[in-house]
């Protein structure tokens, strides 16, 4: 029997489908997880807070495979997991559809001034003109990040007749190479960030990049808050050097109540809700986990695997 440390939250979705060779160790809190962790060869111990997950991972000294619903696991002790030879599967692609839809919503809401429409509705005020007159069709988008989410963002924006230019290492199919996009920032109306948080991407949008954007440029970030120099962004927004920033992610999270981003009319903060705007996340994750259990038992490769060196 192979012992698997599993959260009681996903029990209804996986217990009836567990193969006979799996002995589940169900936990309802951190203390129970830490008690069972040393015996587990397989672990799926996602929690809302990061520190307990780190503690459990360090305690799981027999772990061979760790699964997670999270796409970004840069907060986990990846060096420890690598040293122990642990295979890690993450939640890449689980939320891709809803996040891509969220990007379209953010862009349309900004283009049409929908936030002002809602405010007028709350005041019961009948507007005689649209507060937003921008059309997506014909505008140019720089897309940084062409993983599962970025690919879906691209297809949806192209359906609006937008020109989407991604950044790829190969530079194939009209893409820009990693060393080329900064020099061309002024050619784009929108800059969409869909990259993982790594040492390479942290602070990739700073004062220099913001200064290179068009005055009507809009920054859309559904990646991680730390890929943007937030202080530089606040300065650029206050001085109207770019038109707006649409931010599903911030640094830190939650954003403090006294942070200036809350007060800026040209900033929209949507509290990292893009991946949660759905009902299928846990079912998709459970389905993927059960499929991977079969692969694991057969000695086949489980998917999608996190590169423990790159962090994504």
Domain annotation covers residue 40: yes
Domain annotation covers residue 285: yes
Those residues with Cβ within 8 angstroms of residue 173's Cβ, 6 or more apart along the chain or in another chain:
none
Active site residue 128: no
Does residue 197 sit in the same domain as residue 131? yes
Active site residue 224: yes
Q: Which of 253, 291, 294, 300 is catalytic?
A: 253
Domain annotation covers residue 305: no
Per residue of the chain (312 residues), what is the pLDDT tens digit?
999 999 999 999 999 999 999 999 999 999 999 999 999 999 999 999 999 999 999 999 999 999 999 988 989 999 999 999 999 999 999 999 999 999 999 999 999 999 999 999 999 999 999 999 999 999 999 999 999 999 999 999 999 999 999 998 888 888 999 999 999 999 999 999 999 888 899 999 999 999 999 999 999 999 999 999 999 999 999 999 999 999 999 999 999 999 999 999 999 999 999 999 999 999 999 999 999 999 999 999 999 999 998 888
312 close to 72: Cβ distance less than 8 angstroms: yes
Q: Is 189 helix (H, G, I), strand (E, B) or coil?
A: coil
Q: Would you state the pLDDT for residue 169?
A: 84
Active site residue 259: no
* pLDDT tens figures, 111-165: 999 999 999 999 999 999 999 999 999 999 999 999 999 999 999 999 999 999 9
Does residue 52 sit in the same domain as residue 126? no
Does residue 107 sit in the same domain as residue 227? yes
Does residue 132 sit in the same domain as residue 243? yes
Domain annotation covers residue 262: yes
Those residues with Cβ within 8 angstroms of residue 216's Cβ, 6 or more apart along the chain or in another chain:
189, 243
Does residue 188 sit in the same domain as residue 158? yes
Domain annotation covers residue 312: no
Does residue 195 sit in the same domain as residue 286? no
Q: Which of 134, 259, 272, 284 is catalytic?
A: 272
Does residue 204 sit in the same domain as residue 125? yes
Those residues with Cβ within 8 angstroms of residue 247's Cβ, 6 or more apart along the chain or in another chain:
219, 221, 225, 228, 261, 267, 268, 269, 270
Does residue 126 sit in the same domain as residue 236? yes
Q: Which of 41, 139, 209, 224 is catalytic?
A: 224
Domain that holds residue 198: 96-276
> The domain spanning residue 54 has which CATH number?
3.40.50.720
The set of long-range contacts for 149-152, using a CB threshold of 8 Å and a minimum separation of 24, is: 149/93, 149/95, 149/96, 149/99, 149/100, 149/194, 149/222, 150/192, 150/194, 151/96, 152/96, 152/97, 152/99, 152/100
Does residue 173 sit in the same domain as residue 84? no
Does residue 21 sit in the same domain as residue 130? no
């Amino acid at each position: 029997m192979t012992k698997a440390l599993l959260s009681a939250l996903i029990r209804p979705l996986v217990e009836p489908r567990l193969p006979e060779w799996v002995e589940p160790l169900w936990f309802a809190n951190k203390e129970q997880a830490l008690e069972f962790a040393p015996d587990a060869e397989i672990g799926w111990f996602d929690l809302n807070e990061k520190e307990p997950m780190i503690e459990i991972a360090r305690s799981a000294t027999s772990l061979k495979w760790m699964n997670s619903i999270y796409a970004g696991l840069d907060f986990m002790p990846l060096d420890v997991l690598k040293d122990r030879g642990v295979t890690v599967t993450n939640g890449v692609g689980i939320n891709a559809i809803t996040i891509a839809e969220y990007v379209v919503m953010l862009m349309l809401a900004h283009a049409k001034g929908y936030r002002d429409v809602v405010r007028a509705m709350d005041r019961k005020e009948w507007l005689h003109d649209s507060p937003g007159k921008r059309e997506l069709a014909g505008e140019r988008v720089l897309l940084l990040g062409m993983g599962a989410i970025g690919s879906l963002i691209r297809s949806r924006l192209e359906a609006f007749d937008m020109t989407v230019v991604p950044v790829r290492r190969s530079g194939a199919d009209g893409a820009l190479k990693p060393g080329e996009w900064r020099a061309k920032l002024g050619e784009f109306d929108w800059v969409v960030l869909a990259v993982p948080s790594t040492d390479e991407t942290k602070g990739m949008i700073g004062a220099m990049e913001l200064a290179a954007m068009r005055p009507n440029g809009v920054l859309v970030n559904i990646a991680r808050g730390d890929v943007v120099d937030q202080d530089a962004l606040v300065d650029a927004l206050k001085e109207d050097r770019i038109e707006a920033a649409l931010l599903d992610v911030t640094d830190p999270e939650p954003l403090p109540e006294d942070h200036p981003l809350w007060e800026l009319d040209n900033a929209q903060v949507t509290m990292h809700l893009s991946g949660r705007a759905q009902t299928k996340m846990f079912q998709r994750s459970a389905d993927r986990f059960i499929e991977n259990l079969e692969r694991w038992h057969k000695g086949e490769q489980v998917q999608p695997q996190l590169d423990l060196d790159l962090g994504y």
